[in-house]
Structure 1
């Protein structure tokens, strides 16, 4: 670990004292303004009473205490320990997990210090092994004067070889390092892409020892990584009590440290840890993740909403809605609660993209469509560049953000029906003082904790994802049938008549 201590709270660059809007709350200098949610004081009182009846405070305590809140898999959900820079003990079935986590931090820092002459890093992973690191690399690339350490970071997730070909056309094989990320080390897309990269290294003239030097793994299946041919001291572990979509704080976030330095990775963890302390300790009435969860629950109860949007008015966060889609819909896209009974609510559809681009795309639906779609507007007070026009451009960006929220809330009356805006469209505003590693970590942890709070309110297990497995099982006999080349595949127990006809068409 670095000898420099990263505090739980950064140097404040924003001026919150006396200027907070009515109804706004703050944590870690992140401001949440729910004034346009349309919830009055009595409504909030009822929502907090709902949270108490759901024993939300007890759930939060149980999560941080390492209790097995992931009941279906009989595991805790201890991703918060991965960013516990205080190193205070975190017990898992009586054993402190922090020494193992601290050892991984030490190894990450050591690797950062000795990677000299590396031009390209290929990070291979999919889902939770891809979204968090990719979002973080993209977001932090916009931080003025950040040092990228002279490396190009490539993300290879899709089994589609178009992505593979694009990366290999740029990477320099003799100065490339490869990080294979898979919790199980059996994920089909990841293992096939990894084999393709190894074949490319061989075809490029790399020797066996050079290839061994180039390959690294991040996995909970250390044995599987060794069997693939990765040297033991190149394997970074993480644990089965870390869900893939919550794993960027582990060695899965290795690209952040490699690209921008270990100090930046520490700051990323520190921001998340600070938000965790707030979520763990703040009263429900001033707890940002809880307030966000209750606001969404309110809109489900009042308007039966089926979707919500996250619109970051920061181009650096264009990947944020994609990360959020997995976090919310994989965690809480359930129809059955923990008690085995049908769930009343679960995750709405999540979508979004960077504003103000989004205004020229689907905001028409927000303003005049029949559906009510709540929005999380996310803005940054400080411009993301040091260009001479940055301040002027940023004012326009912020004015668009504020104007859209106001227009959605109040609407417009007009004699021409085409020019009528119904209004009463709910939104929240999240305001970051600036976008750097600390506040990026705080933002992601805020939403992770909100997702967990929603699961508790809905009585849903946010930490398993059985629904993603069925399609993988069905894909195996279909792939076998496609590989056969036969255009006379018959329907059976694993391939229905429609799919068989499609296979026969593709093989013809």
Structure 2
């Protein structure tokens, strides 16, 4: 039960389903119009009915795409070139040395993960040192850590927000404005030290960001699907525009694979069907994501948003309530560290689960001496050995005290590259889409999140003294204490 491709491989032997059983289950659960729905997605014509727009994130990596609609691929690449070459000068004439990406959710998780995972693939023809930092938390905790180590005169801020109205992001921006005030006039800061990335150009203009420093993407690209667009600017700043394009190439490869490979050779479709089977037939409500390569340590958090915000729904596409299970809980952590934390519970605990192991088989370890390279290569073998061992134990068990029969996938690549990284993420995107089609839900809205934001604004208005309202005894007592 293995599928191998140029950029990504899947072994689902330990899911415990034969090829015939899987074919029969697909015939039972895949809707008759699945092929047509898949084609619509890959053409950028799939409907997001609750928000009244198409779903177009796939187009950001098509051969004819522009990375950013407002300014296009050339503008995106020029911004990357200027910053990475040291030719972007701040208001006092000093080169920009640090970039701080301020965003949350899809404007933070994907760019941060990609920048961390792929930094060793940075184009090596750039001598200027550029450090990229990430700030997302609305409480200011990350700003507290970042601001002391950067200089207002040499720091550029990316304000990344699809709506350009996200309260978490704007709260961080307002604090940054207070921080730069002693060193720079706000007009000089906006002119030389800010790039906006959003689908709302009007809001960026009203904020004061020059048009030449606005990178936009289509409103039809969901935030959690947006790292392929201008939202991926921090990744390109870390590795260069050419390497960023290779990441898009890997995702496009997976788009083509998803659209054409037959069922038993189709990685996203196999992931989706096994996931639905585990949810419906085995009653498993959670999936542990276990990457066995430190460069992928942020993958579980990224997939939490991708999967749970997409398919954590109790309403069908037509708005009617549903009474069957949909998307599972996604959790996990860096596998080698997890072995010393929660794996004991996985092997011998009471609860059932499914797992996705992610492994990188080889590593070149460039930039080190031959002796250090050999050490790092040896450590990679150690990591793979542990991945394979724990995966076996979870399935086969070991006597009465290790029950086993915990189903898992093994997603693996020969080497982590921008292409294989892009293919891995796109495979998960298409898995989520396929499961949404099977469950007849809209994987491209998030009404629960939006309602939570609305309630938070109501509470904040009371905390700020702008309105007088009672909620419940518990909430009211905390408000009174504040």
Question: Shared topology, TM-score over 0.5?
Answer: yes
Identify the match of residue 478 of structure 1 among 447, 453, 459: 459
Q: Structure 1 residues 336 and 297 mapped into 2: Cα distance closer, same or farther (>3 Å)?
A: same
Query: What SS is found at the alignment partner of 1:169?
Result: helix
Q: Structure 1 residues 461 and 28 mapped into 2: Cα distance closer, same or farther (>3 Å)?
A: farther
Q: Structure 1 residues 274 and 41 mapped into 2: Cα distance closer, same or farther (>3 Å)?
A: closer
Partner of 2:195: 216
Superposed displacement of residue 65, structure 1? 2.6
For the 8 Å contact 1:143–1:436, the answer to whether it is kept is yes
CA shift digits 1:391-445 (9 cap, x unpaired)? 221111111000111111111115xxxxx11111111111111112111111111
For the 8 Å contact 2:101–2:134, the answer to whether it is kept is yes
Matched, 1:40 2:18: yes
Superposed displacement of residue 164, structure 1? 0.8
For the 8 Å contact 2:31–2:437, the answer to whether it is kept is no
Q: Structure 1 residues 154 and 29 mapped into 2: Cα distance closer, same or farther (>3 Å)?
A: closer
Superposed displacement of residue 103, structure 1? 5.0
Partner of 2:324: 344
Partner of 2:334: 354
Q: Structure 1 residues 240 and 429 mapped into 2: Cα distance closer, same or farther (>3 Å)?
A: same
For the 8 Å contact 1:309–1:374, the answer to whether it is kept is yes
- Distance in 2 (CA, whole Å) between partners of 1:147 and 1:307 is 44
Partner of 2:216: 237
Q: Structure 1 residues 384 and 126 mapped into 2: Cα distance closer, same or farther (>3 Å)?
A: farther
- Distance in 2 (CA, whole Å) between partners of 1:196 and 1:384 is 42
Partner of 2:474: 498
For the 8 Å contact 2:356–2:408, the answer to whether it is kept is yes
- Distance in 1 (CA, whole Å) between partners of 2:141 and 2:66 is 41
Partner of 2:391: 405
Partner of 1:293: 272
For the 8 Å contact 2:251–2:422, the answer to whether it is kept is yes
For the 8 Å contact 2:69–2:215, the answer to whether it is kept is no
Partner of 1:91: none
Superposed displacement of residue 195, structure 1? 2.2
Matched, 1:113 2:91: no
For the 8 Å contact 1:384–1:435, the answer to whether it is kept is no
Partner of 2:91: none
- Distance in 2 (CA, whole Å) between partners of 1:109 and 1:291 is 36
Identify the match of residue 285 of structure 2 among 279, 287, 306: 306
Identify the match of residue 380 of structure 1 among 350, 360, 375: 360
- TM-score using structure 1 length: 0.87
Identify the match of residue 108 of structure 2 among 120, 130, 151: 130
CA shift digits 1:277-310 (9 cap, x unpaired)? 1111222232110000001111112221110011
- Distance in 2 (CA, whole Å) between partners of 1:39 and 1:371 is 21
Query: What SS is found at the alignment partner of 2:55?
Result: coil
For the 8 Å contact 2:68–2:229, the answer to whether it is kept is no
- TM-score using structure 2 length: 0.91
Matched, 1:391 2:377: yes
Partner of 1:263: 242
Root-mean-square deviation (Å) = 2.1
Query: What SS is found at the alignment partner of 1:433?
Result: strand
CA shift digits 1:350-397 (9 cap, x unpaired)? 011111111111112211222221111000011263533122211111
Identify the match of residue 180 of structure 1 among 147, 159, 174: 159
Superposed displacement of residue 38, structure 1? 0.9
- Distance in 2 (CA, whole Å) between partners of 1:150 and 1:458 is 48
Matched, 1:27 2:5: yes
Superposed displacement of residue 315, structure 1? 0.5
For the 8 Å contact 1:289–1:446, the answer to whether it is kept is yes
Q: Structure 1 residues 392 and 320 mapped into 2: Cα distance closer, same or farther (>3 Å)?
A: same
Matched, 1:252 2:231: yes
Task: Summarize the alignment of residues 124-163 of structure 1 with structure 2, pairs less than 5 Å apart.
Answer: 124-143=102-121, 149-163=128-142
Partner of 2:314: 335
- Distance in 1 (CA, whole Å) between partners of 2:224 and 2:67 is 23
Matched, 1:457 2:435: no
For the 8 Å contact 1:343–1:460, the answer to whether it is kept is no
For the 8 Å contact 1:376–1:429, the answer to whether it is kept is yes
- Distance in 2 (CA, whole Å) between partners of 1:496 and 1:28 is 57
Superposed displacement of residue 100, structure 1? 6.8
- Distance in 2 (CA, whole Å) between partners of 1:219 and 1:103 is 12
Partner of 1:93: none
- Distance in 1 (CA, whole Å) between partners of 2:468 and 2:66 is 55
Query: What SS is found at the alignment partner of 2:47?
Result: coil
Partner of 1:421: 402
Query: What SS is found at the alignment partner of 1:429?
Result: strand
Mark the runs of 5 or more structure 1 residues left unpaired by the alignment: 1-22, 88-96, 415-419
Identify the match of residue 298 of structure 2 among 312, 319, 327: 319
- Distance in 1 (CA, whole Å) between partners of 2:108 and 2:202 is 22
- Distance in 1 (CA, whole Å) between partners of 2:50 and 2:190 is 40
CA shift digits 1:242-294 (9 cap, x unpaired)? 00000000000011112221111111111111111111122223211000000
- Distance in 1 (CA, whole Å) between partners of 2:123 and 2:195 is 29
